[in-house]
């Protein structure tokens, strides 16, 4: 076989936490140990040799790289200290950039040295919006107690649509839209590449409903239950952080959807719906519980990852830490803004709220290119794993 190694790819993997790659001597202990590896389709031994050979195209179309939950069991037992869990993590990081669109933004989001730009873009956009809105004020204590952050971007006489909502929508919706578009394009490309490589028959396809009920829904149930995560042994504590974080995101998603519906749709007919929610409002309670769960989950993952790194089971990488930092920033600034509102401290409250908007916009903007993307790519790979074993793929 004539192997054409992609040297740039090998260099990237080594720089993204897979620097132990070359230590692997193909003993296959990792594939035996891995609790998620299937008998007929074992991993990560084969991925290690493919990565050593620089077979980029083979690896980015391999569903197994996304099925790995980075538990570290294989790294703990590897006799050569090749850290296959980290190598697979580095390959996934590369894959998110490979599938990400636009490619310039995807590349930007993968390096720690770009952090000032990654923070600077949303910070500048929101600051310019604040200037354009003409609001540029710090409210009095009385005003702050009545309106909270609902007039951060000012107010106007048009009672059917709040000025604050208008300006937030102006930058958050394009950021979220870009993320959705990029994710859709990436997932479509991944599915096509995996189907092509697996030799799946493309003329016999399930209906959309069949696809959802037979492949997507069972995968989502597994994800919500954390069934695969619970099979990990060395690093089982990670479930205690990952599960509350995932539930927090679901809670915050519901809160955001309700907020959009209330302010952008229902508020047009009933202007009284605009305004801060009482702390006893069920949606507000859900938002606060989700924020606490988010901070708790991020804290557990933070300590867990630090422990793995100090024990030599994992390498410190920007890819692994960026998401934890981002989530922590969203949770802490959101919760702190709320506390400052209760305490009636407008100056610090407005600064923290500005930082909160920056953190949220960063989460949206960089979602398809960072570790956050595993939500969709892993779900896609899990659905594909079921699909490739079905009669649809084999006929
Ligand atoms: S990564 Fe380690 S355990 Fe896996 S095949 Fe290579 S040497 Fe063996
Ligand atoms: S990190 Fe865990 S899930 Fe991933 S290959 Fe290793 S043992 Fe399997």
Together in a domain, 232 and 145: yes
Together in a domain, 53 and 129: no
Together in a domain, 66 and 40: yes
**Within a domain: 381:** yes
Together in a domain, 90 and 120: no
Together in a domain, 71 and 211: no
How many angstroms is it from 33 CA to the middle of ligand 1?
Answer: 10
**Within a domain: 287:** yes
**pLDDT reported for residue 3:** 73
Domain containing 57: what range?
7-99
Distance CA 104, CA 205 (A): 34
List the residue whose alpha carbon is closest to atom 8 of ligand 1.
27
Together in a domain, 136 and 269: yes
**pLDDT reported for residue 210:** 93
Per the CB < 8 A criterion, the answer to whether 149 and 337 are in contact is yes
Half-sphere exposure at residue 267, Cβ-oriented, CA atoms within 13 angstroms: 20
**Within a domain: 1:** no
> Which is nearest to 289 in space by CA: 344, 240, 331, 333?
331
Number of domains in the chain: 2
**pLDDT reported for residue 315:** 87
Together in a domain, 78 and 112: no
Together in a domain, 75 and 120: no
Distance CA 17, CA 2 (A): 28
**Within a domain: 307:** yes
Together in a domain, 174 and 79: no
**Within a domain: 48:** yes
**Within a domain: 165:** yes
Domain end call among 82, 99, 116? 99
How many angstroms is it from 179 CA to the middle of ligand 1?
Answer: 36
Q: Measured from the CB, is residue 60 less than 6 Å from ligand 2?
A: no
Task: Compute CA distances 262 → 147, 162, 258, 268, whole Å.
Answer: 17, 11, 6, 9
**Within a domain: 217:** yes
Domain end call among 99, 126, 142? 99
Tell which one of 19, 20, 22, 26 to mutate to probe ligand 1, the residue whose CB is within 8 A of the most ligand atoms.
26
**Within a domain: 2:** no
Please name which ligand lies nearest the alpha carbon of 67: 2
Together in a domain, 166 and 52: no
Together in a domain, 231 and 354: yes
Together in a domain, 13 and 111: no
**pLDDT reported for residue 190:** 95
Profile the chain (395 residues) by mean pLDDT over runs of 10 residues.
82 91 95 91 94 95 94 93 95 94 92 94 96 89 90 85 88 94 95 90 82 95 91 83 92 89 82 77 90 91 91 87 93 92 95 96 94 94 93 78
**pLDDT reported for residue 339:** 93
Ligand 1, atom nearest to 26 Cα: 5
Q: Measured from the CB, is residue 73 less than 6 Å from ligand 2?
A: yes
Domain end call among 57, 72, 99? 99
**What does pTM read for this prediction?**
0.88
DSSP state, residue 193 = H
Identify the residue whose tokens are 């059917």. 160
**pLDDT reported for residue 391:** 86
Per the CB < 8 A criterion, the answer to whether 64 and 43 are in contact is yes
**pLDDT reported for residue 1:** 61
């Amino acid at each position: 076989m004539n192997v054409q190694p992609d040297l740039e790819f090998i260099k990237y993997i080594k720089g993204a936490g897979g620097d132990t790659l070359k230590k692997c001597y193909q003993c296959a202990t990792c594939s035996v140990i891995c609790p998620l590896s299937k008998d007929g389709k074992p991993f990560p031994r084969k991925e290690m040799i493919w990565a050593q050979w620089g077979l980029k195209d083979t690896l980015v179309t391999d569903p197994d790289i996304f099925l790995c939950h980075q538990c570290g069991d294989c790294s703990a037992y590897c006799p050569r200290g090749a850290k296959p869990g980290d190598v697979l993590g580095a390959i996934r990081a590369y894959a998110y950039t490979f599938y990400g669109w636009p490619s310039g933004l995807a590349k930007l989001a993968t390096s720690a040295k770009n952090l000032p730009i990654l923070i600077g873009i949303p910070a500048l956009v929101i600051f310019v919006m604040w200037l354009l809105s003409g609001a540029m004020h710090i409210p009095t204590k009385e005003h702050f107690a009545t309106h909270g952050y609902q007039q951060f971007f000012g107010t106007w006489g048009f009672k059917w649509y709040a000025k604050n909502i208008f300006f937030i929508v102006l930058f958050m919706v394009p950021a979220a839209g870009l993320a959705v578009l990029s994710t859709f394009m990436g997932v479509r490309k991944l599915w096509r590449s995996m189907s092509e490589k697996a030799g799946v028959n493309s003329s016999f396809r399930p209906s959309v409903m069949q696809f959802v009920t037979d492949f997507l829904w069972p995968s989502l149930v597994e994800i919500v239950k954390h069934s695969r995560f619970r099979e990990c042994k060395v690093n089982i504590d990670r479930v205690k952080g990952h599960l509350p974080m995932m539930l927090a995101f679901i809670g915050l998603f519901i809160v955001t959807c309700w907020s959009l519906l209330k302010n952008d749709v229902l508020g047009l007919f009933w202007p009284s719906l605009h305004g801060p929610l009482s702390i006893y409002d069920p949606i507000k309670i859900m938002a606060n519980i989700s924020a606490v769960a988010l901070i708790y989950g991020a804290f557990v993952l933070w300590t867990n990852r630090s422990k793995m790194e100090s024990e030599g089971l994992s390498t410190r990488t920007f890819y692994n830490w960026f998401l934890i930092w981002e989530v922590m920033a969203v949770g802490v600034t959101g919760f702190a803004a709320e506390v400052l509102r209760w305490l009636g401290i407008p100056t610090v409250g407005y600064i923290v709220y500005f930082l909160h908007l920056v953190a949220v916009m960063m989460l949206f903007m960089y979602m398809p290119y960072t570790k956050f993307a595993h939500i969709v790519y892993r779900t896609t790979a899990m659905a594909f794993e079921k699909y490739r074993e079905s009669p649809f793929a084999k006929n």
